[in-house]
Structure 1
Amino acid sequence: MIANNFYLKKNNFKSLSNILMLVGLSITIIFIFLAFTAPILQNIGLIKDPLESLKNPIHQAPNIQHFFGTSGQGYDVFSRTIFGSQAALKVVLLATSFSLIIGVPLGLISGYFGGKIDKCLLFLMDTIYTLPGLLLSVTLAFVVGRGVINAALALSISYIPQYYRVVRNHTTSVKTELYIEAAKAMGASPTRILSKYLFFNVIQSVPVLFTLNAADAILILGGLGFLGLGLPEDVPEWGYDLKLALDALPTGIWWTALFPGLAMTTMVTGLSLLGEGLSEMLNPINR
């Protein structure tokens, strides 16, 4: 009886996890679709130019011509919200890719060879990991300046230690397995062992980390944009739009802040749900 109850609870938990993952995946796909189709939607006249200002810049409440209203600078909030997903996706994909490309190989090398290499890399990564992500990104943004690539680099530094630590720990436990020892005995080089035998065994948790880091990167990018350190002013970005909307909020102009903030929150929620769902699915205990 107890076993049956446990089985039912486990199945219910898995069903709920699957539903949440599907919701997160759906939200993520919608934003990816909007990011890729934004220029097409503009060309066929479904959305306005996000950089085109009205002749007489003034706040307009949501209406038929401007679904999300207009900002004090005369911009169409709806088009800037749509194009904001494009900017967020570019920076987030670049940032997480940079950190993955650097962190995973370093984790493999550190975990496999150990010794002084491992100690030096571990000390360096632990030092970076102890720094708050937003503070580190703000500091780097001051140094490298504004821009898509620069913002991605500023964000990626704080994520490298996460990939490094996960891959290093898995590599340390897997490198003592019999098939690794057999490969060494057959004369396989360290490069071949790392690329063919270890890499595909330790990479399983990376997709989960990738989605969760992407969600976090959107928030930090929004923070950089709010501080004026993210993307150039000619690139629609949710954080920068929130900065522009701040002064209008006390006067009852709510739409300029609501829609960019809602878009950012929704995309972060979608990626977080997707990451948690992947974590449950890839966890051997829950299979």
Structure 2
Amino acid sequence: MKFTGFAFIKGKLCLLTKLYTKGSLDNLHRVEDLLQKERFRRLASDVCSGVAHLHAHNIIHRDLACRNLFMGHDGTVVVGDYGLARKMDDRYMLNNSSFPWAWTAPESLATKEFTSKSDIWSLGIIFWEIATQGQHPYGDSGCSTKEIIRRIIRSNLKVELPYGDRGRTLPPCLRALFHRSTEFDPASRPTASQLLELLSAEEESVVKMMSRWSAGARSQSGSPRSHAPPSGATAATAPASASVSGGSGSRSESWLSRRTTRTTTTVTSASTTRSNRSVASVYYNRNTPPGERAGLNHLAPPPADDGPYGRVAI
């Protein structure tokens, strides 16, 4: 997003940027055909290029979502809203801040630490948003925010792409991008530059490329690991069908070192049109009873200009 200047409005510093006339992607799912093969490829390339540029300058965004991607009149898509972006050396530790949990990587929910691989997970959720034409992550799980976060951390809950006739119409590169970006182990996720490489490859090369990345990730991280938070992180109760054993890690790299039996719950996508009421559930529903909010420390009220969104602080 091009910076053009700044201004002081009512004593507040405001940044001025180029106007992207079509607005944010979360308002375009049912207006523009974002799933047309070449259209999606260009869109995804724009987004991955923007994220790769940020990471090359040691910046993590921490709030990647369709609502923060903006389209110009020529179809170009840019990354905006840098309110949660931070400079990083290797990782950024969350300190008494709030953030959009439904787009947040499991390891960041567990440890409150963010890395470039956390942004890659958020990219995967963006691709899911596009595939489902603007549905809300985990919106159909039927669980409280507290329980959803616990199950995400334990790898017992993950959004899934549409299936059946609708699923067959998805661009092959979207499937590849989604599955690679939402690898549970951060070390197994590609970089934004590698996602660009995938997008530029011919379709028949995608499977080979994904296999090569997976093999490289396994050689770096050792044997496959399952995911549980480290000691000191918020404990998550596994479902009755899961068994938990082993010790716990001491740093964010080993937050998932304890062995668990994965029980994946598929979240199917509703076909309902997005409404103002449902938008409020993107972070948390303000009508959620206080008892269901326990265990998250608190749910921070959004700023006055934050629209219908609330953000969870853990």
Where on the TM-score scale, by shorter chain, does this alignment land: which range?
under 0.3
Relative to the length of structure 2, the TM-score reads 0.26
More strand by share: 2
More helix by share: 1
